[in-house]
């Protein structure tokens, strides 16, 4: 992939105000990720379902773990990035941030994120909403990042021409 400079080093730990942090996800996170995703599945499907077909109602723990392992391989190869939002002790997952190469024209990176149902409308969600665009601007080499679900709706994104 040539969407990132060869010398780019992705962040491995990002502080989020309030005692939280982001770090790259791995298959080892499946035991925490699966209940977080499935506990918020209906809302997540309403956001990501049409675009990504995720998270399907039928997804199993094993399939979810395989997805996380695939994400870890993609992160290592700098193909795409999935960051998990954890509490300080990494005992509770509160959401994820996705940083992907552009699938649609007009951007050099596509970023989206979510929090679990229990965090919707919370101070944590507000802090994440403030942090992600700033972090992308400061730590990532994008000139035209697109914040899907923020700058434009998922429906608007789906209508854009493919990259």
The tens digit of pLDDT for each residue in 76-126 reads: 999 999 999 999 999 999 999 999 999 999 999 999 999 999 999 999 999
The fraction of the chain above a pLDDT of 70, given in percent, is 99
Q: Are 62 and 68 within 8 A, CB to CB?
A: no
Instruction: Write the CB contacts of 7 (distance below 8 Å, at least 6 apart in sequence).
Output: none
The Cα–Cα gap between 125 and 91 comes to 18
Q: Are 130 and 150 within 8 A, CB to CB?
A: no
pTM of the model: 0.96
SS3 113: strand
Averaged pLDDT for residues 8-14: 97
Question: Shortest CA distance to 71 belongs to which of 24, 32, 106?
Answer: 24
Question: Shortest CA distance to 104 belongs to which of 146, 67, 61, 142?
Answer: 146
- Statement: residue 66 has pLDDT above 70: yes
- Give the pLDDT confidence score for residue 1 in this predicted structure: 47
What's the mean pLDDT when you consider all of the chain? 96
- Give the pLDDT confidence score for residue 2 in this predicted structure: 74
Instruction: Tell me if the domain spanning 14-157 has CATH number 3.40.50.970.
Output: no
Tell me which DSSP letter residue 121 carries. T
- Statement: residue 160 has pLDDT above 80: yes
Q: Are 79 and 65 within 8 A, CB to CB?
A: no
- Give the pLDDT confidence score for residue 99 in this predicted structure: 98
Q: Which residues pair with 82 in a beta bridge?
A: 98
Vertex 145 angle, CA 143 and 148, to 5°: 170
The Cα–Cα gap between 116 and 93 comes to 8
Distances (CA, A) of 125 to 23, 60, 84, 95: 17, 27, 14, 9
């Amino acid at each position: 992939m040539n969407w990132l400079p060869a010398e780019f080093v992705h962040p491995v730990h990002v502080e989020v105000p309030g005692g939280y942090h982001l770090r790259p996800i791995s298959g080892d996170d499946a035991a925490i990720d699966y209940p977080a995703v499935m506990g918020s599945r209906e809302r997540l499907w309403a956001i990501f379902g049409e675009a990504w077909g995720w998270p399907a109602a039928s997804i199993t723990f094993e399939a979810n773990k395989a997805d996380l392992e695939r994400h870890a391989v993609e992160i290592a190869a700098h193909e795409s990035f999935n960051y998990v939002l954890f509490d300080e002790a990494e005992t509770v997952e509160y959401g994820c941030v996705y940083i992907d190469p552009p699938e649609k024209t007009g951007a050099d990176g596509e970023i989206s994120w979510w929090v679990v149902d229990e965090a919707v409308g919370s101070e944590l969600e507000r802090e994440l909403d403030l942090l992600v665009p700033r972090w992308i601007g400061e730590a990532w080499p994008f000139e035209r990042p697109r914040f899907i679900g923020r700058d434009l709706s998922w429906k608007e994104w789906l209508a854009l021409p493919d990259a």
